[in-house]
Amino acid sequence: MRLKNTVRVVLFLLVLSMLMFFFREYLQGGIFGFLSLLITLSVIFIGFVIFLENRHPTQTITWLVVLGSFPLVGFFFYLLFGRNYRKEKMYRKKYFLDKQAFLTVEGENDPRSEEKLGLMAEHQARLFTLAQKLGNSPISFDTATKVLTNGEETFHHILEQLNKARHHIHIEYYIVRDDRIGQEIKEILINQAAQGVKVRFLYDAVGSWKLSKKYIDDLKNAGIETVCFGPVKLPFLNNKFNFRNHRKIIVIDGMIGFVGGLNIGDEYLGRNDTYGFWRDTHLMLRGEAVRSLQLIFLQDWYYMTNHSFLTAEYLSPQIDEKNHGGVQLIAGGPDNEWSVIKNIFFSMITSAKVSVWIASPYFIPDEDIFSALKVAALSGIDVRLLVPNRPDKRIVFHASRSYFPELLEAGVKVYEYERGFMHSKIVIVDHELASIGTSNMDMRSFHLNFEVNAFLFRTKSTQKLVAEYINDLEYAKQLDLTSFRKRHIGLRLIESTARLLSPLL
């Protein structure tokens, strides 16, 4: 190993010497000449790396255009958002550990699940089989689910169940705020820890960058194990900055679970004047599938701490729920080369017989999903897309709207929600299959973030999602292709520019 490193250093010095010789005119220009040389070489090197990564051609061309047109800005933008060349190396270990944990805990397929899959239509059974193979998670038919609408109902149930915990509480969130609801949850966790309940708290370094040190110290001083996912000290030099844990998970005593779109913060309760009413959807689970949610948390915890808790006290609760329809928890992330959640969405769309209804706050699809939606609509499928009519991330908002003309031309019905900010992340197919979770319909969720979604089949919750979607359309404006084409040329230029950058977002 030392010899290899020595050879690398020698080769690097030789190459550097040759470059300094060929570019000696730059160096004669003093510090500015040297910086120009450095930036030029860096851009050339980055372009070479991008080619070697074999990215999608659209993404490759976009990066090269940005680097060629704006070398300095593009250079730093790439350092911050574009580096994927170590992704597989960084997360390969996590992928294999997660898969081994799944095989250890779940073992062979449950014959009852195989029997239930046999009762589904062939295309539906294939979907859940695909999800199990890609996501390492079985389908459960012994799990009760409850759709929680918006922040008030969601946090009412979360606080209620946290207070009922007797053995352990596991919390994993992208955003945690030190505000009113954040304080309420903190106080409950501290009180429960004082009563002997084991509490583990995992938060994302970037999503929760505003979380105060005092908040964390209060948790730790109460004996709560608190871990930061993907800490970043120097973002421009840290390859992990771009891969964030976007999951929202709560597991209580291994029997109750929560997953969905709501982070921990007052804005998710509509208490922020900027956003106003916040439309969101969460899911509460009770029963067998909570074990899959628990396993996802424990795998993430192990990845950050090297402490494993794959034991019966966390993974073998008493189950008394029977025959509630199919529920499957799927984790997606940069540790899985299959872009698992995106491919399940793709399968849902392409196998639809009647309808595909989608709600997403951010809509930046890759070409596969974009084409699937258009083809489905052209085939006579009732395809609907519900998005916000106001931005919380302006460039993403404009990029999203650039896709609408093609969708409208294909027959997709596009609606903009006007009552407040639409943050639900929902997919409903044929009024029988549904997805609810943390994944947006965008490339970041598909390829970069750690996400988790619940996929439902013929549950009462599926019908509740259908009813809520129909109700949401009452507060939405359907876009008209003719009118949409008449928007101001300046706005269309902004949208086109944002779309050009969308493969980088």
Note whether 295 and 315 are within 8 A (CB).
yes
More confident residue, 6 or 76: 76
Name residue, tokens 């019966």.
312
Note whether 366 and 446 are within 8 A (CB).
yes
More confident residue, 200 or 240: 200
Domain boundary among 277, 293, 321: 321
98, 204, 253, 442: the catalytic one is 253
Q: What is the predicted pLDDT for the residue at 274?
A: 87
Q: Do residues 437 and 454 share a domain?
A: yes
Q: What is the predicted pLDDT for the residue at 358?
A: 99
Q: How far apart are CA 317 and CA 329, in angstroms?
A: 17
Note whether 193 and 282 are within 8 A (CB).
no
Q: How far apart are CA 205 and CA 37, in angstroms?
A: 35
Which helix (DSSP H) or strand (DSSP E) does residue 455 occupy? strand 451-457
Output DSSP code: residue 503: G
State yes or no: is 447 an active-site residue. no
Average pLDDT of 371-392? 97
Q: How far apart are CA 67 and CA 319, in angstroms?
A: 56
Q: Do residues 314 and 355 share a domain?
A: no
Average pLDDT of 359-376? 96
More confident residue, 501 or 126: 126
Q: Do residues 316 and 355 share a domain?
A: no
Q: Do residues 441 and 468 share a domain?
A: yes
In a domain, 141, yes or no: no
- Report how far apart, in Å, the C-alpha atoms of 461 and of each of 59, 63, 145, 225 are: 38, 42, 6, 33
Q: What is the predicted pLDDT for the residue at 463?
A: 97
Q: Do residues 99 and 78 share a domain?
A: no
Strand partners, 364: 442
pLDDT in tens, 209-227: 999 999 999 999 999 999 9
Q: How far apart are CA 434 and CA 464, in angstroms?
A: 10
**Which 3 state secondary structure label does DSSP give 198?**
strand
Pairing of strands 249-252, 256-260: antiparallel
pLDDT confidence tier of residue 81, bands split at 50, 70 and 90:
low
State yes or no: is 368 an active-site residue. no
pLDDT in tens, 311-354: 888 987 767 777 778 999 999 998 888 899 999 999 999 999 99
Nearest alpha carbon to residue 46 among 61, 65, 67: 67
DSSP codes of every residue in 216-267: HHHHHHTT-EEEEES--S-GGG-GGGG--B---EEEETTTEEEEES--BSGG
Looking at 26-40, 125-139, 368-382, which range is the least confident one? 26-40
Q: Is the confidence at residue 35, as pLDDT, over 60?
A: no
State yes or no: is 486 an active-site residue. no
Q: Do residues 93 and 214 share a domain?
A: yes
In a domain, 28, yes or no: yes
Q: Do residues 315 and 393 share a domain?
A: no
Q: What is the predicted pLDDT for the residue at 110?
A: 56
Q: Do residues 294 and 167 share a domain?
A: yes
State yes or no: is 246 an active-site residue. yes
In a domain, 95, yes or no: yes
pLDDT in tens, 394-450: 889 999 999 999 999 999 999 999 999 999 999 999 999 999 999 999 989 998 899
More confident residue, 393 or 292: 292
Looking at 149-153, 168-172, 441-445, which range is the least confident one? 441-445
State yes or no: is 123 an active-site residue. no
Q: Do residues 91 and 49 share a domain?
A: no
Parent domain of 352: 340-504
Q: Find the angle CA(328)-CA(334)-CA(336) to the nearest 5 degrees.
A: 55
Q: Is the confidence at residue 297, as pLDDT, over 60?
A: yes
Q: Is the confidence at residue 68, as pLDDT, over 70?
A: no
The CATH number covering residue 304 comes to 3.30.870.10
Name residue, tokens 């969460």.
282
Q: How far apart are CA 293 and CA 263, in angstroms?
A: 17
Average pLDDT of 187-193? 99
Q: Do residues 223 and 91 share a domain?
A: yes
Note whether 355 and 383 are within 8 A (CB).
yes
In a domain, 116, yes or no: no
87, 248, 342, 447: the catalytic one is 248
186, 374, 425, 464: the catalytic one is 425
Which tokens belong to 186?
Answer: 């903190």
Q: Do residues 91 and 73 share a domain?
A: no
Which tokens belong to 81?
Answer: 């958002």
Q: What is the predicted pLDDT for the residue at 243?
A: 85
Percent of the chain with pLDDT over 70: 74
Percent of the chain with pLDDT over 90: 58
Q: What is the predicted pLDDT for the residue at 12?
A: 45
Q: How far apart are CA 383 and CA 148, in angstroms?
A: 24
In a domain, 365, yes or no: yes
430, 447, 464, 472: the catalytic one is 430
Q: Do residues 65 and 98 share a domain?
A: no
Average pLDDT, the chain: 84
Average pLDDT of 176-199? 98
- Report how far apart, in Å, the C-alpha atoms of 452 and of each of 148, 340, 426 are: 17, 10, 13
Cβ partners under 8 Å of residue 174, min gap 6: 203, 204, 207, 208, 244, 245, 246, 247, 248, 263, 438
In a domain, 422, yes or no: yes
Q: Find the angle CA(51)-CA(57)-CA(63) to the nearest 5 degrees.
A: 65
pLDDT confidence tier of residue 238, bands split at 50, 70 and 90:
low
Q: How far apart are CA 471 and CA 482, in angstroms?
A: 26
Q: What is the predicted pLDDT for the residue at 321?
A: 73
- Reported pTM: 0.83
Domain count, the chain: 3
116, 240, 246, 342: the catalytic one is 246
Strand partners, 256: 252, 286
State yes or no: is 248 an active-site residue. yes
Average pLDDT of 176-204? 98
Q: Is the confidence at residue 29, as pLDDT, over 80?
A: no
- Report how far apart, in Å, the C-alpha atoms of 146 and of each of 283, 286, 358, 460 are: 6, 9, 19, 8
In a domain, 326, yes or no: no
More confident residue, 116 or 367: 367
pLDDT in tens, 117-143: 776 888 888 888 898 888 888 899 999
In a domain, 113, yes or no: no
